[in-house]
Each structure stands twice: as structure tokens, then as C-alpha cells.
Amino acid sequence: AQKITQTQPGMFVQEKEAVTLDCTYDTSDPSYGLFWYKQPSSGEMIFLIYQGSYDQQNATEGRYSLNFQKARKSANLVISASQLGDSAMYFCAMRALTNTGGFKTIFGAGTRLFVKA
């Protein structure tokens, strides 16, 4: 069964430091995509970064990088130089094939990040 696991309900980080949010996934399909989304207290969902299962290099987007370890089935999000505005809920997600040939995207339970001044 396809599944996303985020084991850190909450994380604290000091402003300007780096933080890693953990994500492990489970799928038997060779083709899949991994995403991270941010949800601030205002409630909207904001796309951060994407990694395809065939991508050879780890994805990076500004201060965000995705530490993709395919053999371990992990896709951790690294935020460098944390800012107060990074305080939010972060969701890891996976897009995978369904048994009817389409795609669906499933999410983990999320990690709430608190950035301390």
C-alpha cells in the first residue's frame, strides 16, 4: 500500500539555523513523485519543492532542498537559514499511479515547525 509517514508532530528551530523535516514513503511502483507543501496559519497550501523518482540530483528551491535517499525511501526537507515566516505546518506528499492507470497524490500527517527568535 502507498503511504507517507512523517514522524515529527512538532519541531523547534532557532532563527537562522537549518532544520530537517523527516519524510518516509512506501510504494512498490518504480515511478512516483515526491512533494513538500507548506501551510501557514492562514490555511492556504503552498507548494515548496518536487522530486521525481528518476531524478539523479536532489531538488533545490532557494532555501529549500530535498534530501532524497531512494534506497531508504526517504525524502527529507531541509530548510536553511530559518526565518520567522517559516513557522507553519509542512506536509510531505507522494504522487503515484493508481490501479486504474491514473495518478493520485497522498499526504503525510504533517510536521508543525516553530521558528524561535
Task: Provide the binding-site residues for another protein, judged by CB under 8 A.
Answer: 4, 6, 9, 31-33, 35, 37, 43-45, 47, 50, 52-54, 91, 93, 95, 98, 100, 102-110
State the nearest-atom distance from the C-beta of 58 to another protein, in Å: 14
Within 13 Å of residue 105, how many CA atoms lie on the same side as its CB? 9
Q: Where are the alpha helices (DSSP H) in 7-53?
A: none
**16 vs 69 by CB, closer to another protein:** 69
Q: Which is nearer to another protein, 23 or 115 (CB)?
A: 23
CB of 66 to another protein, least distance (A): 12
**Beta strands in 1-117, from DSSP E residues, in sequence order:** 3-5, 10-14, 19-21, 24-26, 32-39, 46-52, 60-61, 64-69, 74-79, 88-97, 103-107, 111-116
Nearer to another protein, 3 or 16 (CB): 3
Q: How far is the CB of 55 from another protein (least distance, A)?
A: 8
Tell me whether residue 72 or residue 104 sits nearer to another protein (CB atom): 104
| Minimum CB distance to another protein, residue 52 (Å) | 5
Collapse the DSSP code of 18 into the 3-class scheme (helix H, G, I; strand E, B; otherwise coil) and give the result.
coil
Determine how many CB atoms are found less than 10 A away from the CB of residue 54.
Answer: 10
